[in-house]
Amino acid sequence: MAEKWLAGHFLVASRYLRDPNFAQSVVLMIHHDHEGAMGVVINRPSDKTVREVWEMIGNDPCDRDDKIYVGGPVPGPLVAIHPLQAFSDHQIMPGLFFSTNRDELDLIVRKKNIPFRLCSGNAGWSSGQLENEMEAGGWLWTRAAVDDVFADHESIWKAVTQRIGLEIMAPDIDHEHLPSDPSLN
């Protein structure tokens, strides 16, 4: 694969990737360079809510019942994906930011009407590992869209895989002008 850094892209496991941690997952890539890659799965809600986790870690009570997402099989700190530049560690793409700082996370989850994904764990690859998996056909990818990041977790996988399919089948056609179901034409 030619050198292509995938931060700000979605990865979707193909049927050739046998790792059950990633079946029908959408991974938002946070970082990717010659040293390795890191992303978070954005469509795997856990059974824990922000309220429950805030009680467990001893923060002031928080009344948010948003689910915490399983960001991947690699243990790590809680990660917030959000649109608030003032509370960010890193910009993923225009309008989308990444935070791990405990104080910033606390401020983010207390903002009303601000979308976010709070993830526990992440998906990580060592130098060359992701590129090898992609060359073997394990992953499909497309540019991420902020709206998809915060969409209902049950619809993200279908929306992203349809977009990838259109990019493969009709790469030179403006996808905004294609019908959502061409069989209905």
Domain assignment present for residue 139? The answer is: yes
- Cβ neighbours of residue 31 closer than 8 Å, sequence gap 6 or more: 7, 37, 38, 39, 90
List, for residues 46-67, the tens digit of each pLDDT value: 999 999 999 988 778 888 999 9
Residue numbers of the domain that contains 96? 9-184
CATH of the domain at 78: 3.40.1740.10
Domain assignment present for residue 3? The answer is: no
The pTM of this model reads: 0.88
List, for residues 109-142, the tens digit of each pLDDT value: 999 899 999 999 999 999 999 999 999 999 999 9
Mean of the per-residue pLDDT values for the chain?
A: 89
Domain assignment present for residue 134? The answer is: yes
Residue bearing tokens 């590129």: 131
Domain assignment present for residue 2? The answer is: no
List, for residues 136-160, the tens digit of each pLDDT value: 999 999 999 999 999 999 999 999 9
Query: How many separate domains does the chain show?
Result: 1
Domain assignment present for residue 162? The answer is: yes
Domain assignment present for residue 89? The answer is: yes
Domain assignment present for residue 90? The answer is: yes
Domain assignment present for residue 129? The answer is: yes
Mean pLDDT, residues 79-91 = 95
* pLDDT above 60 (res 182): no
